[in-house]
Structure 1
Amino acid sequence: MDSIKAALNASADLKRQVADTLAEDIHNAIEQVRRSFESGGKLLLMGNGGSAADAQHLAAEFIGRYKLERNPVPAIALTVDASILTCIGNDYSFDDVFARQVKGLARKEDTVLAISTSGNSGNVIRAVEEAKKIGAATIGFLGKGGGKLKDMVDIPIVVPSADTARIQEVHITIGHILCETLDREF
């Protein structure tokens, strides 16, 4: 019982810390995604492992709905097409699985959301580099100090933790805040 309470309290404490220190960065990310949607752009999301699941989850909330009935909002998880991922991984390299998709799909009015608990995922870094070449805005949901991505993305949101599970819990919470805020507007 004590370990359950400790885990829940650790998660809650980290979220309180994020509320106190990252609310402005989260607001800036929401504003950037809003600008993309208002200008006819889309949101491209990516990550590996649990972060891939978060990318898919958030894209589904925008295309489907979060809480309110509304028209779909253009969001694409770059983690879902097994044929594209295995083709690029085989014919190029795993480091290119997101970069090739960004190069083919992203436009300057889009926002690319890079989710990486370490901030050092090679395939996510390459995709952000491609997004920068195109002129698309970039946001990072990061942790563990932010890694290389912290200095690469336009809006880094670095969860102040080294615990992957706690970082992912905060990332999906921030994602839900993004969805909830934009849900009311679109």
Structure 2
Amino acid sequence: MHERITQHFSDSIDAKIRSADALPPVIAEAAEMMVQSLLSEGKVMACGNGGAAGDAQHFVSELLNRFDRERPALPALSLCADSMTMSSIANDSSFNDVYSKQIRALGQEGDILLVVSAHGNCPNMVKAIQAAHDRNINVVALTGKDGGDMSRLLHPEEVEIRVPDNNPHRIQEVHTLIIHCLCDLIDEMLFSGE
């Protein structure tokens, strides 16, 4: 058991080292995109499925409340936190529409949509990106593996932060670190002078 546990730590460290070599420029680009939206009175919406839904909610809670410093709340919305809305859409329409319907109703041009998926092939996430594009909302995608269908939908001005790993558990662990990096950079760009 000890060796299995140690191997999990080693694999996680290796994934983070590869990510540290590859991802800082795109993480910085994503943070700048989000800051520009926030400065222009936009908001950040976020969604994911399963553990990725937890990551999306985690990111939104850090923006709405605080990350490392006391500062004003930032406008953010988790599209996966309202179980009544999600189950209603899934029941009356399709689970594939649970995010796209919310984006079409709540999203405004100039907002940012953060989509989180280890493999990037979830039909409801694909439809979320399409809905964002219909509303002139830019997308930041947290992915892994080959980026999946989500990656192929992104416009050139949008940002994909693709973890260089194939194991969904390692990808999700790095996604948590990326979320913390984004929160830190957003706070630093908006509030470093305070």
1:170 correspondence with 2:174: yes
Alignment of 1:1-186 (within 5 A): 1-153=2-154, 154-184=158-188, 185-186=190-191
Which amino acid in the other structure matches residue 123 of structure 1? N
3-state DSSP class of the match of 1:46? strand
Give the Å deviation of 1:23: 1.2
Deviation (angstroms), 1:12: 1.0
- TM-superposed deviation, 1:4: 1.6
| Paired amino acid for 2:161 | I
Cα distance in 2 for residues equivalent to 1:59 and 1:144: 24
Q: Distance in 2 between matches of 1:18 and 1:108?
A: 31
Task: State the SS of the aligned residue for 1:130.
Answer: helix
Q: Offset at 1:152?
A: 1.5
Aligned residues: 186
Compute the TM-score of the two structures, normalised by the length of structure 2: 0.93
> Residue 140 of structure 2 contacts residue 161 of structure 2 at CA under 8 Å; is this kept in 1?
yes
Please report how far the alpha carbon of residue 7 of structure 1 lies from its aligned counterpart in structure 2 after TM superposition.
0.9
Q: Separation in 2 of the partners of 1:74 and 1:151?
A: 28
SS of the aligned residue for 1:145 comes to: coil
Matched residue SS, 1:108: coil
Given residue 166 of structure 1, which amino acid in structure 2 is its aligned partner?
Answer: R
Deviation at 1:158, TM superposition (A): 1.0
Give 1:28 shift.
0.8
Q: Which runs of 4+ in 1 moved over 2 A?
A: none
Q: Which runs of 5+ in 1 are unaligned?
A: none
1:17-52: per-residue Cα shift (whole Å, max 9, x none)? 111111111111111111110100000000000000
* Partner Cα separation in structure 1 for residue 151 and residue 84 of structure 2: 30
Shift in Å at residue 13 of structure 1? 1.1
Please report how far the alpha carbon of residue 150 of structure 1 lies from its aligned counterpart in structure 2 after TM superposition.
0.9
**2:108/2:136 contact within 8 Å kept:** yes
Q: Which amino acid aligns with 1:65?
A: R
Cα distance in 2 for partners of 1:58, 1:156 equals: 16
Shift of 1:180: 1.0
Could you tell me how far 1:181 is from its partner in structure 2?
Answer: 1.3
